[in-house]
Amino acid sequence: MSSDQPAGDVPDDRCGYTYPEDFDPAEYDPEYTQRSNSCVRPPLPDSGRCKIHADPDDTEYKTESLNAGSPGGVSIDGAILPGEFATYVNWSNVSLLRDVDLAEANLEGADLSEANLAWADLTEADLYDANLAEANLNRADLAEANLEGADLAEAALLEADLSEAYLYDADLAEANLYDADLAEANLYDADLSGVDLAEADLAEATLSDADLSETNLAWADLSEAFLGRADLSEANPQKADIAEADLVGADLSEANLSEVNLPRATLNDADLTEAYLYDADLAEATLREADLTEADLYDADLAEAALRGADLSGVDLREADLSGADLKQADLTDANLEWADLSEAVLLKADLSEATLQEADLSRADLEEADLTDANLEETDLSEAALNEADLTGANCENATFNETTLVRASLDTTDLVRADFSEAHLFGTTFDGARIDGGTQFSTEGPVADLDTANHCRYDTDAHPADPIETVAESAEAFKNRDESLEEIRARRARSTYRRLETLASTNGYPDLQSEMFVRRQEARRELLAAEGRTLSALFAGVQRLLFNYGESFRRILGISLVTILLGWLLYLTTGIVETNGGTSLRPEVVADSPVLLIRALHHSTLVFFAGNQLLEPTGVVGEFVIVAEAMVGPILVALLIFVLGRRAAR
C-alpha cells in the first residue's frame, strides 16, 4: 500500500517508509513504471514503522499486529519479515517485494510467480516447492536457502547469491542466472535447460543428474563442481573454468567447450560425441571409457590425461598435446592426430587403425600391442617408443623415425618404409613381409642402405652400439636370471634372426648388395652363437669359411686365395728343389738364375696343377709329391666355390 502524493513530511498516522534515495528501479526492472513508493500503513504504537517495516528488535507489537491480519496491497517493498514473521503474510496478491528481509522465512509452497524480489534477503529461507516462475530475483540473496522442488522457470536471477542453496529437483528452465553465485549450491536433478549461466560461480556446486542442455555457461566457474550424469548436450561452456570438476557419466554431446578450462577434471564414461573442444585445457583430466566420437579437440591440451578405454574414433586431435596421457585400450580409429604431441603417452593395446599421425611426436610412447594397421605415420617421430607386438600392417611409415624403437615381434608387413630410419631399433621377431624400402631407408646410424660404404648392422651386432649384451637386448639382468641361455647367446640368436628377416626384405625389394651383407652378418651371428654355446670346432670351421670366402659372398677373396695358392706353389717349385725337369735338372735358385726360362715353366706348372691336376715338372721326392697333390686338391675346390658364388650373385 503506497501513496500517490509527492514525498514530503510524513503524517503521524502513516509509516512513511520509502525506498532508499539511491534506488534506481530501471537498473533492476527495465519495464518499471515510476510511482511514489511511500508506505501509508499505520505505524505500531512503539515504533514509527508499520507492522511489515518495523524491526522486530524495536517493537513488541509486530507479531500481534501481523496475527491480526495480513498486510494488504500488492507492495511490501522493504518489508522486514524474517523467520516466523513471514508466515502471517498472504502471498497470493503480493508482487512487489524489493529489498525485503525474508531471512530464514518459511515460504514453503508460496506462490511468488512474477513477483519482484530484487535485492531481497532470502538467506536460509525455506522455499520448498515454492512458485517463483518469472519472478525478479536480480541481486537477491538466497544463500543457503531451501529451494527443493521450487519452480524458477524463466526467473531473473542476475547476480543473485545462491551459494550453498539447496535446489534439488528445482526447475530453472530458461532462467537468467548471469553472473549468479551458485558456489557449493546443491542443484541435484535440477532443470537448467536453456538457462543463461554466463560468468556464474558454480564452484564446488552439486549438479549431478541436472539438465543443463543448451545452457549458456560461457566464462562460468565450475571448478570442483560435481556434474555426474549431468546433461550438458549442446551447452555452451566456452572459456568456462571446470578445473577438477566431476563429470562422470555426463552428457556433453555437441557441447561447445572451446578454450574451456578442464584440468584434472573427471569425465569417466562421459558422452562427448561431436563436442567442440578447440584449444580446451584437459591436462591431467580423467576420461576413462569416455565417448569422444567425432569430437573436435584441435590444439587441445590433454597432457597426462587419463583416457583409458576412451572412444576417440574419428576425433580431430590435430596439434593436441597428449604427452604423458594414458590412452591404454583407447579407440582412435580414423582419428586425426597430425602434429599431435604423444610423447611418453601410454597407448598399450590402443586401436589406431587408419589414424592420421603425420608428423606427430610419439617419442618414448608405449604402443605395445597397439593396432596401427593402415595408419598414416609419415614423418612421425617414434624414437625410443615401445611397439612390441604392435600391428603396423599396411601403414605408411615414409620418412618415419624409429631410432632406438622397440619393435620386438611387431608386424610391418606391406608397410611403406621408404626413407624410414631404424637406427639401433630392436627388430627381433619383426616381420617385413611385403614391406617396401628404398635407398633412403636406414638400419644403421652410419647412413642409408644406398650408401655402399655404410655398415648396415642391427643393434644386436657386436659391431653396433651398444656392444654390451644387457644394453643390446634392452632388458634388465633380472629378466635373464633364470634363463638357461647366456646373454651373449641371446644377443647372437636375436642378431641371426633379425638379419635373416632383413635379408629377405632386401631380396624382395631388389637390393642385392644389402641382401649379401645381411647374409654375411647372419652367418657371422651364427658363428658367434656357436662360440657362445661352446661348440668350438663348429665355430672355428665357420671362422675358416669367413676367412676364405666370406661365407661364399666374396668372389674377389676366392680369386685372391687362388692367385696366392698358384704363386705359393710357384715359389716352392722354384726355390726348394722339390721338382725337376724331364732332363733331371732340379730347380733351385742358382739353376733358375742360369736359365730364366724355368721361371715361366714353373709358373705354367703351378697353374696346370691348380686348374687341371696336370704337371710339367716331376717331383724329386715325397715333399714334392705332397705339394703337387695339395695344390691339385685345393684348385678344383676354389674353382667350384668361385662358380657357386658367381651363380648366387647372378641369381640375385
Note the pLDDT tens digit of each residue in 582-608.
888 888 888 888 888 889 999 999 999
Q: What is the pLDDT of residue 481?
A: 61
Q: What is the pLDDT of residue 2?
A: 43
- Strands 618-619 vs 579-580: parallel, antiparallel or unpaired: antiparallel
Q: What is the pLDDT of residue 479?
A: 55
Q: What is the pLDDT of residue 558?
A: 85
CA distances from 116 to 1, 166, 644 (A): 15, 21, 105
Q: What is the pLDDT of residue 85?
A: 84
Among 115-124, 130-139, 259-268, 469-478, which is the least confidently predicted range? 469-478
pLDDT 10s digits, 372-413: 999 999 999 999 999 999 999 999 999 999 999 999 999 999
C-alpha cell at position 77: 517493498
370-409 CB burial, b ≥16 within 10 A, e <16 = bbbbbbbbbbbbbbbbbbbbbbbbbbbbbbbbbbbbbbbb
Provide the 3-class DSSP secondary structure of residue 315.
coil
Q: Is 583 exposed, middle or buried (0-12, 13-18, 19+ CB in 10 A)?
A: exposed
Residue 7's pLDDT band, with cuts at 50, 70 and 90, is very low
User: What average pLDDT does range 342-356 have in this prediction?
Assistant: 98
322 versus 19: which is more confidently predicted? 322
pLDDT 10s digits, 269-307: 999 999 999 999 999 999 999 999 999 999 999 999 999
Q: What is the pLDDT of residue 362?
A: 98
Percentage of the chain beyond pLDDT 90 is 61
Q: What is the pLDDT of residue 84?
A: 85
Question: SS3 sequence, 96-151?
Answer: ECCCCECCCCECCCCECCCCECCCCECCCCECCCCECCCCECCCCECCCCECCCCE
What distance in Å separates the CA atoms of residue 193 and residue 213, rounded to the nearest whole number? Answer: 5
Residue 556's pLDDT band, with cuts at 50, 70 and 90, is confident
CA nearest to 273, candidates 322, 315, 327, 228: 315
Q: What is the pLDDT of residue 33?
A: 47
Q: What is the pLDDT of residue 5?
A: 40
User: What average pLDDT does range 22-49 have in this prediction?
Assistant: 67
- What is this structure's pTM? 0.76
Whether the pLDDT of residue 549 is over 80: the answer is: no
- Answer for the pair 192, 202: CB distance below 8 angstroms, yes or no: no
Length of the chain: 652
C-alpha cell at position 388: 612390441
- Answer for the pair 237, 259: CB distance below 8 angstroms, yes or no: no
Q: What is the pLDDT of residue 352?
A: 98
The DSSP H or E segment spanning 618 is: strand 618-619
Q: Which long-range contacts (CB under 8 A, 24 or more apart) does 199-208 make?
A: 201/163
What secondary structure does DSSP assign to 32-89, as a single string?
A: PPP----B-SPPPTTSSS-TTTS-GGG-SSHHHHHHH-PPPSSB-TT-B--GGGGGG-
Residue 636 C-alpha from the chain's centroid: 65
- Answer for the pair 353, 333: CB distance below 8 angstroms, yes or no: yes
Q: What is the pLDDT of residue 279?
A: 94
Whether the pLDDT of residue 164 is over 90: the answer is: yes
CA nearest to 153, candidates 170, 140, 178: 170
Residue type, 411: S
Grid cell 663348429 in the structure block, residue? 538
Instruction: Give the other-Cβ count within 10 Å of 90's Cβ.
Output: 12
What distance in Å separates the CA atoms of residue 619 and residue 568, rounded to the nearest whole number? Answer: 16
pLDDT 10s digits, 55-94: 988 898 888 888 887 766 677 888 888 988 887 887 777 7
Provide the 3-class DSSP secondary structure of residue 597.
helix
Looking at every residue in the chain, the average pLDDT score rounds to: 88
Q: What is the pLDDT of residue 583?
A: 81
Whether the pLDDT of residue 429 is over 80: the answer is: yes
What distance in Å separates the CA atoms of residue 438 and residue 413, rounded to the nearest whole number? Answer: 15
Q: What is the pLDDT of residue 135?
A: 94
Q: What is the pLDDT of residue 90?
A: 78
434-449 CB burial, b ≥16 within 10 A, e <16 = ebbbbebbbbbbebbb
Q: What is the pLDDT of residue 473?
A: 66
pLDDT 10s digits, 304-348: 999 999 999 999 999 999 999 999 999 999 999 999 999 999 999
pLDDT 10s digits, 627-651: 999 999 999 988 888 888 777 777 6
Alpha-helical segments (H) within 434-486: 469-473
What distance in Å separates the CA atoms of residue 375 and residue 88, rounded to the nearest whole number? Answer: 74
Residue type, 23: F
Q: What is the pLDDT of residue 234?
A: 92
Residue 468's pLDDT band, with cuts at 50, 70 and 90, is low
